[in-house]
Amino acid sequence: MPPSERPSDRRARIREGHHRAIIDAAASLLGAKGADGFTVEELARRAEVSRRTVFNHFGSVDDIVITVCTEVLGDLVETFESRPSAPAGTSDAGVFDELAEALRSTDLVAPIAYLTRVLGTSDNDSSQRRAVVLLRAFTEVSERIAAEMLRRHPEADELTTRLLVSSLIGGLVVLHTHWLAATGGSADTASRAVWDELLDQLIRQTRDGYASTASLGAHTS
């Protein structure tokens, strides 16, 4: 232990290392065997930790899988975070457009196709589990984007911002179902065209609904 490192810092560093090792091992096993293809014991061996350590960090295997899925979808958050902030005082509609453009400019087909494959498509149980895992993963992504949006626009109403973000990000889970039925989960040019069309429909319908609400508020204020 370095002379300047306190015992509490060392424990935190070890815990962080274990956490990262478990996630990395889970990602490797997911890619090789799918979500139902490995046990906690196998995960612990791959991560070089004990079974107890795995459950000290995560409540269940699904929690680990969701964390991996959230990281796979992290490009969406990074795309949004890397975009220039809209000017202070931007209207709600302008903030909506900021997020919509980030969705359009992020390649979501590749990570969603990967997640579809590793989460399974063979039976009803796999489909139900996939839907739950994707919903929870997208919910975490939504919360991160909402937090970033509020950081960029501290003057924005928190409830309105969170509703706006969740409407779009939550809609991606619905899009996935229609995209999978139309493409079989492939990640090629044709499936990207299907995704882009579905995404445009989501953005258009969400914007129209929001614009109607904003118009009603303007008339009643």
Instruction: Show Cβ contacts of residue 73 under 8 Å, excluding neighbours closer than 6 positions.
Output: 108, 111, 115, 137, 138, 141
Domain assignment present for residue 1? The answer is: no
Number of folded domains in the chain? 2
Same domain, 130 and 161: yes
- Domain co-membership, 53 together with 120: no
Pair 13, 93 in one domain: no
On whether both 157 and 180 belong to a single domain, the answer is: yes
* Structure-block tokens of residue 202: 């989501």
Q: What is the DSSP letter of 34?
A: -
At residue 215 the predicted structure's pLDDT band, cuts being 50, 70 and 90, is very low
In a domain, 68, yes or no: no
Stretch (H or E) spanning 153 = none
Residue 54 lies in a domain: yes
Ramachandran assignment for 133, one of left (phi > 0), alpha (psi -120 to 50 degrees), beta (any other): alpha
> CA 173 to CA 166: how far, in whole Å?
11
> Of the candidates 23, 33, 117, 11, which has an alpha carbon nearest to the alpha carbon of residue 70?
23
0.85 exceeded by pTM = no
Lowest mean pLDDT among 72-76, 123-127, 143-147: 123-127
31 within domain boundaries: yes
- Highest mean pLDDT among 123-132, 171-180, 203-212 belongs to 171-180
- Give the pLDDT of residue 75: 79
Same domain, 53 and 161: no
Question: What residue type is assigned to position 215 of the chain?
Answer: S
Residue 65 in domain: no
Whether residues 56 and 81 fall in one domain: no
CA distances to 3, 95, 102, 120, 215 from 88, rounded to whole Å, are 47, 10, 18, 44, 22
| 53 and 154 together in one domain | no
- Predicted local confidence at residue 58, as pLDDT: 94
**pLDDT of 110 over the 50 cut:** yes
Instruction: Give the domain extent around 185.
Output: 73-220
138-187 residue pLDDT tens: 999 999 999 998 888 888 889 999 999 999 999 999 999 999 999 999 99
Contact yes or no for 182/115 (Cβ under 8 A): no
- pLDDT for the residue 25: 95
- Whether residues 99 and 36 share a domain: the answer is no
| Residue 221 pLDDT grade (very low, low, confident, very high; cuts 50, 70, 90) | very low
Flag whether 67 is in a domain: no
Tell me: do 85 and 153 sit in the same domain: yes
- Domain presence at residue 44: yes
